[in-house]
């Protein structure tokens, strides 16, 4: 017969439905925090967490989307090591714990990697660049084999101007198009979206007219619709107080961008930076870092947006909510809180959100997190 304590532990273990991982971006050796995810959306620290990534974090808050990604086959995590200009590959064990893959970490191909795009065995990294020297800002490609070895893709590097300040890089669901977002500076001419067609062996061909002008100041987080690989959504973060918006684009097969409807679509909030779309492509969530809220949009059949909800954080304002990801079922949304050093969790009902009991869930001491994955 099980003791009461053993029975409780067994019940807790049986309630684990998945895991959530966060790139801690810790100074010195970087780590990845790992949580068990439960059926009610709550999180508990996984035994052994945090796990050493191998490279070094910057120890400073970095704004970008996608600094932690899962491999196409689901077996690995890829983490940006912003402090050592490397990418770490970690194997996901059956119990969700992590182990460094052989040969990891590897040089990112530039300076301060901030975002990672993955499709099947193809990986591209956005490197922020060295502000002091104006060098090392680029997109660089790699291949990832089944053993977790990340290998540079010859001739893949696309240099970026020192004003680029890339915030995100991502593939569409078919892997035929790749987009990189240049947040830019205060100069409107630097607010740009880079669009590429992906060749057979992973090479990139810039679309005619690329880079394309953004529709508002500070294009930042972005996502292709999971339901339609030709639709791209980009948040506009630097429009000022109460002037946030999200842009909607059609992306042609040749990579050219065209506006959808009356884009950009205002949300009346400040600094919408991170974007996540429901798995059925029906709703979009924009994390407003400046106003500490999340905007919910309904996505119409033609791809246009309608703002339907605004949700605040129980923790209050000023916590700097960052990257956001839905769990595989789409029932819960997880958001990294950079200033709070925690992960907030919200139950999802259509375009409405409700923060779950126990949120926010603490990250390790010393973390300056960016990027998370929910499996």
Domains identified in the chain and CATH numbers: 19-374 (2.130.10.10)
- β-bridge partners, 353: 348
Determine the distance from the C-alpha atom of residue 245 to the mean position of all C-alpha atoms in its chain, rounded to a whole number. 18
Q: Taking the CB of residue 145, how many other CB atoms lie within 10 A of it? A: 9
Cβ density class 180-207: b for 16+ within 10 Å, e for less: bbbbbeeeeebbbbbbbbbeeebebeeb
User: What confidence tens digit (pLDDT) does each residue in 84-141 have?
Assistant: 999 999 999 999 999 999 999 999 999 999 999 999 999 999 999 998 898 999 999 9
User: What confidence tens digit (pLDDT) does each residue in 256-308 have?
Assistant: 999 999 999 999 999 999 999 999 999 999 999 999 999 999 999 999 999 99
Q: What is the pTM of this model?
A: 0.95
Q: Give the DSSP letter of residue 339.
A: T
Alpha-carbon separation of residue 90 from 26, 55, 134, 152, 310 (angstroms) = 16, 11, 31, 17, 36
Please give the angle made by the CA atoms of 52, 58 and 59, to the nearest 5 degrees.
Answer: 85
pLDDT above 70 covers a percentage of the chain that reads: 96
User: What confidence tens digit (pLDDT) does each residue in 26-48 have?
Assistant: 999 999 999 999 999 999 999 99
User: What confidence tens digit (pLDDT) does each residue in 151-169 have?
Assistant: 999 999 999 999 999 999 9
Mean of per-residue pLDDT scores for the chain: 95
């Amino acid at each position: 017969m099980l003791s009461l304590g053993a029975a409780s532990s067994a019940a807790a273990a049986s309630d684990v439905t998945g895991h959530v991982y966060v790139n801690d971006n810790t100074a010195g050796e970087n780590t990845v925090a790992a949580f068990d995810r439960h059926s009610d959306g709550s999180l508990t620290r996984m035994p052994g967490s945090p796990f050493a990534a191998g490279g070094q974090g910057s120890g400073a808050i970095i704004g970008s989307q996608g600094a932690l990604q899962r491999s196409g086959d689901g077996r690995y995590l890829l983490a940006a090591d912003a402090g050592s200009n490397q990418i770490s590959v970690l194997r996901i064990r059956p119990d969700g714990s992590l182990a460094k893959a052989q040969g990891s970490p590897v040089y990112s191909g530039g300076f301060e990697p901030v975002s990672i795009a993955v499709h099947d065995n193809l990986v591209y990294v956005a490197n922020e660049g060295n502000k002091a020297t104006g060098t090392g800002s680029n997109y660089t490609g790699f291949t990832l084999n089944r053993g977790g070895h990340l290998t540079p893709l010859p001739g893949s590097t696309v240099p970026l101007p020192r004003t680029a300040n890339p915030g995100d890089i991502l593939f569409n669901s078919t892997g035929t198009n790749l987009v990189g977002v240049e947040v830019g500076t205060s100069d409107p001419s630097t607010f740009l979206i880079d669009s590429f067609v992906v060749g057979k062996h992973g090479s990139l061909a810039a679309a005619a007219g690329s880079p394309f002008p953004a529709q508002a100041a500070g294009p930042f987080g972005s996502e292709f619709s999971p339901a339609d690989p030709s639709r791209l959504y980009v948040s506009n973060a630097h429009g000022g107080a109460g002037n946030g918006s999200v842009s909607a684009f059609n992306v042609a097969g040749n990579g050219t961008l065209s506006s959808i409807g009356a884009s950009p679509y205002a949300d009346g909030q400040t600094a919408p930076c991170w974007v996540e779309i429901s798995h059925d492509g029906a709703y979009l969530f924009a994390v407003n870092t400046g106003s500490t809220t999340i905007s919910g949009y309904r996505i119409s059949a033609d791809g246009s947006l309608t703002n339907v909800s605004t949700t605040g954080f129980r923790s209050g304002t000023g916590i700097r909510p960052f990257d956001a990801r839905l769990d595989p079922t789409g029932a819960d949304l997880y958001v990294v809180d950079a200033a709070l050093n925690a992960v907030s969790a919200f139950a999802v009902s259509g375009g409405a959100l409700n923060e779950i009991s126990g949120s926010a869930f603490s990250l390790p001491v010393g973390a300056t997190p960016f990027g998370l994955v929910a499996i």
